[in-house]
Amino acid sequence: MRKLVALPVLSADALSSVAYGPEAMLAVLVLAGTAGLGYSIPVAATIVFLMLAIGVSYRQTIRAYPRGGGSYIVASDNLGRVPGLLAAAGLMTDYILTVAVSIAAGVAAITSAVPSLASSSVLIGVAAIVVLLAGNLRGIRQAGAIFAAPTYAFVIAMVALIAVGLSDAADRGFHPVPHPPVNATEGLGILLVMRAFASGATAMTGIEAISNAVPAFKPVEWRNARTTLTWMIGLLVVLFAGIIAIVHYTGILPRSQETVLSQLAHVNYGSGPMYVFTQAATAAVLLLAANTAYNDFPRVLSLLARDDHAPRLFARMGDRLAFSNGIILLSILAGLVYVAFNGRTASLIPLYAVGVFLAFTLSQAGMVVHWWRLRDRHWRKSLLFNAIGGVLSAIVLITAGITKFTEGAWVALVAVALFLFVTTRIRRHYDTVAAALRLQRHSIELPRRTIAPRVDVPLQGVESSRDPRHPRDPQAFARTGAAGESEEAEEVPEEIRHFSLVLIETLDRAGMRALAYAASLQQPVLVIHVSTGEVEAERFRGQWKLWGDHLPLQELVSPYRAVIAPLVNYIEALHHQRPDLTLTVILPEIVMCQRRFSALHSRTAARLRRALRPLRKVVVTTVPFHV
């Protein structure tokens, strides 16, 4: 992406947060009455300083991780497995709440403009999540002017609103308009100010997005990413500070029936076209911000699945090259959270800060360790920036965890603890299964020659160095024979011609058992392996030379981690080239003695069986391996 496109696409989450971050801060301060509102400017100034510090620290992350440095990767690389999982827990919580909070704030913008829809806010929000689910399952991506337009429209609307508000304030000599009388419901104290600070700091969510997506930029990627991050931080600071300033000068207070932005637009524009434009742009960018989580949540979940901390089905892409299972899970969890909190932004905000700043803290701590180990040019300056960012993030994390614990932060803390428990148990299970499946030296007696099975029906057009009935080249074997589709007329054993296809993902005891079963049928055998790239293909070839080189091998490359589609395409081509053959597809299957772990293992056989069902004379069988 060019910087002009990357800026709105990757900044939508961060910039849209000014629609609810300042309001969340003011909603806490107003509890202390007029005295509490007097702290709005100092608290906002502290948040602006935090934005600048975190932005500078993420510039160092982009330089150190030019291929993308999310919190999970940085923390895992530099701090270890458990901190990496904690960072992932913070990210996952952040993404779920990004959808819920953005939808809630977007619906609030709509209901502020059309109050008659307020009673249907939950239904509207759920419908929006369903639309996002359907669109992302269809493979919609954030790219180009379609996704850039809402963010630019929102920035223009906010800049215009701030300019008009400050212009009116200048006409009054920058004297604030007195706000309505406010009765204090809580005493003004350090805890209330810290709560306001933690609520307002939610305006920083989404800052990490650019450091995650460095490879998406045009060359030089890291330099363009840093420039884009600088522009994003600059815009975020201007919008956040500007909104706080005009709120201060216009004397507006948070209200449950109407958002602060809507009140500001009403004061400055009335109910005319500019008011409608402001509300429409706000709702659009918030929905776009929710959609950014649909790119990031499944990707982080796929990284966890790759590292055996999540079910491996989340590492699999769908036909639209999207992580469909992760998209569905995100929609379900975000929908449940949204409904449970009745779609109220104020109720969701206390959950938000914990996940966001847990990921920030661990990412910056990981970068401190990274620079200390590397010690390259300018490492001291980079370490200092990341250390400041990490300390400030930790302060916000602790503040949010303490001051908002009873308001809902405990839910996020419990979710993080539960996530850590589940992911470690999943990793322990996969390690146990891997140990049970691992091939040991001399544990299996390997055939000393190529298997030449006895076949009663001659196979025409097949060459072999040992037996004219055994194919040396399975592809040549498949290319010969009748071109037309034969009838399924085999009713006696002598009329059936077999060809066995063994699907092997990795060479382990389960795979060797499937190979042994196929060889025992005394029919021609072809082994098929699907690789996700040349590195994995090379690794498998090395294993194959040691353990399985007595059988012919066909490798299929699927760089998008799709397995079923390339297998079906290959088997279908084989079937059409030799319709006289009965193809027996043999797969190893892991059978768990404890059924609760069954969901952690693939259902490739069932999915392949459904996909191949329309083909004649194709049999799918599994060879179980019990663990």
Enter the tokens of residue 44.
């906002």
Higher pLDDT, 468 or 407: 407
Instruction: Walk me through the domains of the chain, giving residue ranges and CATH numbers.
Output: 3-430 (1.20.1740.10), 474-626 (3.40.50.620)
Query: Are the beta carbons of 11 and 206 closer than 8 angstroms?
Result: yes
Residues 6+ apart with CB under 8 A from 568: 608, 611, 612
Give the per-residue pLDDT at 468. Answer: 32
For residue 139, the 8-state DSSP code is T
Residue 445 has pLDDT above 80, yes or no: no
Enter the tokens of residue 440.
């040991």
Tens-digit pLDDT profile for residues 139-184: 655 444 566 888 999 999 999 999 999 999 998 888 888 888 888 7
What percent of the chain is predicted at pLDDT more than 90? 28
Please tell me the distance from the alpha carbon of residue 61 to that of residue 63, in angstroms, as a whole number. 5
H-only helix segments in 549-617: 564-577, 604-612
Higher pLDDT, 160 or 549: 160
Nearest to 209 by CA among 147, 158, 118: 147
The CA–CA distances, whole Å, from 350 to 64, 413, 553 equal 32, 11, 56
H-only helix segments in 375-505: 379-403, 410-437, 474-479
Tens-digit pLDDT profile for residues 381-400: 889 988 998 898 898 889 88
Residues 6+ apart with CB under 8 A from 68: 211, 212, 213, 214, 215
Q: What is the mean pLDDT of residues 421-443?
A: 85
Angle at CA of residue 461, ends 456 and 467, nearest 5°: 50
Tens-digit pLDDT profile for residues 40-55: 999 999 999 999 999 9
Name the pLDDT band for 403 (thresholds 50, 70, 90): confident
Please tell me the distance from the alpha carbon of residue 349 to that of residue 330, in angstroms, as a whole number. 18
For residue 529, the 8-state DSSP code is E
The mean-pLDDT minimum among 335-344, 345-354, 571-580 falls in: 345-354
Q: What is the mean pLDDT of residues 193-211?
A: 87
Enter the tokens of residue 310.
């999540």
Higher pLDDT, 511 or 238: 238
Tens-digit pLDDT profile for residues 467-498: 333 333 444 434 444 344 445 566 667 667 88
Residue 563 has pLDDT above 90, yes or no: no
Give the per-residue pLDDT at 278. Answer: 94
Name the pLDDT band for 376 (thresholds 50, 70, 90): confident
Tens-digit pLDDT profile for residues 232-287: 999 999 999 999 999 999 988 888 888 999 999 999 998 889 999 999 999 999 88
Query: Are the beta carbons of 585 and 612 closer than 8 angstroms?
Result: yes
Higher pLDDT, 448 or 505: 505
Which amino acid, 523?
Answer: Q
Q: Give, rounded to a whole angstrom, the gap between the first and last alpha carbons of the chain.
A: 47
Query: Are the beta carbons of 478 and 574 closer than 8 angstroms?
Result: yes
Average pLDDT over the chain, rounded to whole?
A: 83
Q: What is the mean pLDDT of residues 500-523?
A: 86
Report the SS3 class of residue 531. Answer: strand
Q: What is the mean pLDDT of residues 345-356?
A: 83
What percent of the chain is predicted at pLDDT more than 70? 88
Name the pLDDT band for 435 (thresholds 50, 70, 90): confident
Give the per-residue pLDDT at 145. Answer: 56
